[in-house]
Structure 1
Amino acid sequence: MDRISEQPFAIALCLLFVIVMLRANATYWLGRGALSGGRLSDRAARHLEGRHMQRAQRLSARYGVIAVPLSFLTVGVQTAINFSAGFTRMPLTRYLPAVAVGCVLWALLYSTVGMVGWNAITTLWSGVTS
């Protein structure tokens, strides 16, 4: 994270966008794989029935494609929403634009407020350990 925070804003924003886009799409494809008969471990199967996944499925069912970009502004639901989108086979023509918007929101949030917070934590930590 330090290397990203040392970059100019535009580069940090682009790096964060690429990172979250890769992660979100990997999660989507894991969801599609789970639906198509991929063998899940007992732990993964428990997560599919857990409270985060149930909440994600309720949000997906209620708000559809709007839930994907909004999930990037939450903590704890983002992965479940993307997995749920894949698991429910949300068409790529709807998912890709929605996830792109969400990734831009996330990258903007983390390249501004997130980097300031990260720098504050590392500064405090270095003061405590010295």
Structure 2
Amino acid sequence: MTWDAPYLVVVVALFVIVMLRANGTYWLGRGMAAGAERTRLARMITTRHYANATRWLNRWGAPAISLSFLTIGIQTVINLAAGVARMPLRRYLPAVTVGCVAWAFLYATVGFIGWAAVVKLWQYSPAALVAVLVVAVGGIVWAMARRDATPKVAAE
């Protein structure tokens, strides 16, 4: 996957895309907090992932927003939680901007390189790509099952 544009243009385009997505999620959270709890969207704020994101957000605040862009799968719930928690824009906007800049640079380099590797492996051997994906998904499922099976010790 390549873009016929200079690297900086690709980074800026990716920044705009992720900034729109992150802020849209934040405002969705604000809307949910303002009365959307009676809709189907309310289920999103009762999940374990949302509860974990809210705890992380309450503990780490604005840096949690920025750091969430270096993870896979948590940035959406962190931005949603920031909206539901009605994090002030004076704290949210600088944090989300830092995170979006980091994400854009990472995705413009490592993301495209990773995608090129997937395409190359598919061209070499579709079966090898399927095997790699099966092992990766199996590892993730195993790690999540192991984490969920670990007994939690109550704080005394």
**Fold-level similarity (TM above 0.5):** yes
CA contact under 8 A between 1:52 and 1:76: conserved in structure 2?
Answer: no
Letter in 1 for 2:20: L
Unaligned runs of 5+ in 2: 127-156
CA contact under 8 A between 2:68 and 2:75: conserved in structure 1?
Answer: yes
State the Cα distance separating 1:3 from its structure 2 match: 5.0
1:15 matched to which residue of 2?
A: 13
Q: Give TM-score scaled by structure 2 length.
A: 0.75
CA contact under 8 A between 2:32 and 2:42: conserved in structure 1?
Answer: no
2:106 matched to which residue of 1?
A: 109
1:1-130 mapped onto 2 (5 Å cutoff): 2=1, 4=3, 6-38=4-36, 39-41=38-40, 44-128=41-125
2 CA distance for matches of 1:109 and 1:3? 15
Q: Give TM-score scaled by structure 1 length.
A: 0.89
User: What percentage of aligned pairs have identical amino acids?
Assistant: 54
Unaligned runs of 5+ in 1: none
Letter in 1 for 2:103: W
CA contact under 8 A between 1:13 and 1:108: conserved in structure 2?
Answer: yes
SS at match of 1:76: coil
2 CA distance for matches of 1:99 and 1:122? 31
RMSD: 1.4
State the Cα distance separating 1:128 from its structure 2 match: 3.4
Q: Which of 1 and 2 has greater Rg?
A: 2
1 CA distance for matches of 2:7 and 2:55? 36
Letter in 2 for 1:19: I
2 CA distance for matches of 1:29 and 1:50? 19
